[in-house]
DNA sequence: TATTGTTATACTCTATAACTATA
DNA sequence: TATAGTTATAGAGTATAACAATA
């Protein structure tokens, strides 16, 4: 059986997963970046600036992103008690329901994908991918688990 | 050592690879979709319609995409000899040099990432990812190697 | 003075709908 | 009539620069 190179295989896998995510997000009228925004807010209440750091965007881009999500009732802005210049962004109940549903569907997709493998290979994949991410995070000096 | 779930690990790996690709593309002032356009043209001379199918875009989106790439001298349009309504899109020498350089850099990034693993695990990863993609392609009824 | 967030501006990317020119 | 491609239009997403409010 033909085998892809390591680079090609990982690249194709990455595109496949992104397509799965995009499709599920699209079913809820969410873009990938809106999905990431809601995902980040599941366990945080960040300022606009912090969101920019978490998502890798300029604060002006975050401003517009949050504005559009707020218009749809998915997030809310509230003034920061600690700093009068800052704004805290939070998920609304509706936003939380939406992201939880989309995340569950995506997890189902990936689980379904992995069912093509025998259990032993599935476990091997999980273990090796974990090690790879941990080693990469260590090399970059980034903490893996608090990040997103 | 803490281990990520299969779904989380694959999702994070996918985002990591996309960030690597985006960074390298950005160094050449390319977006991911422009990079994919040039990549597709490396071994094809498609019409606008075929590009739409390959990239998953509407023909009007492809029209603009090609227009911007042409303005930068990366691709060229030529009339189809077979059908007077069609246009064939080809890579210019400059476009080919650009995509080859970016692809080589990205491959270097992924190779560097994989060097965090001992050779035995690297080979295991390659083999399992290959099988996963082959099984998924078979399940979807798609040929893996001609596609992009 | 420095920082936080918003706004104005400009560009890429995308889809839908209307158009033209071929077939 | 049907298809290939372009264009007009509208909107999301992004960054830079300028700004107001607060620190």
Encode pLDDT of A92-129 as tens digits.
999 999 999 999 999 999 999 999 999 999 999 999 99
Which residue shows structure tokens 């009732």? Answer: A73
Residue B69, CB, strand D, below 7 Å: no
pLDDT given at position B6: 87
**For chain B, which ranges sit under pLDDT 70?**
1-2, 142-148
Q: Cβ–Cβ of A129/B125 closer than 8 Å?
A: yes
> Cβ of A12 under 8 Å from any chain B Cβ?
yes
pTM for this prediction = 0.92
Spacing of C-alpha B51 from chain mean position: 13
pLDDT of residue B146: 46
Q: Which residues of chain A have pLDDT under 50?
A: 146-148
Q: How far is A13 from chain B (nearest CA, A)?
A: 7
Tell if the CB–CB gap between B17 and A10 is shorter than 8 Å: yes
CA distance B68 to A18: 25
Residue B138: phi and psi, rounded to 5, are -65, -40
Three-state secondary-structure class, residue B72: coil
| Confidence (pLDDT) at B4 | 79
| A66 CB contact with strand C at below 7 Å | yes
pLDDT tens-digit series, residues B99-124 = 999 999 999 999 999 999 999 999 99
Contact B132 A116 (CB under 8 A): yes
CA A106 to chain centre: 11
CA dist A47 to A79, A112, B92, Å?
A: 9, 36, 46
* Number of Cβ atoms within 10 Å of the Cβ of A135: 15
């Amino acid at each position: 059986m033909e085998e892809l190179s390591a680079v090609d295989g990982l690249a194709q896998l990455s595109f496949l997963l992104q397509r799965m995510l995009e499709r599920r997000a699209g079913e809820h009228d969410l873009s990938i970046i809106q999905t990431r925004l809601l995902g980040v807010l599941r366990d945080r209440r960040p300022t606009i600036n912090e969101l920019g750091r978490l998502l890798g965007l300029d604060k002006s881009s975050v401003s517009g992103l949050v504005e559009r999500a707020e218009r749809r009732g998915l997030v809310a802005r509230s003034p920061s008690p600690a700093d009068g210049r800052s704004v805290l962004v939070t998920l609304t109940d509706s936003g939380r329901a939406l992201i939880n549903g989309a995340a569950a569907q995506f997890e189902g997709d990936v689980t379904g994908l992995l069912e093509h493998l025998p259990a032993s290979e599935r476990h091997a994949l999980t273990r090796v991918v974990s090690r790879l991410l941990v080693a990469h995070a260590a090399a970059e000096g980034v903490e893996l688990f608090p990040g997103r």
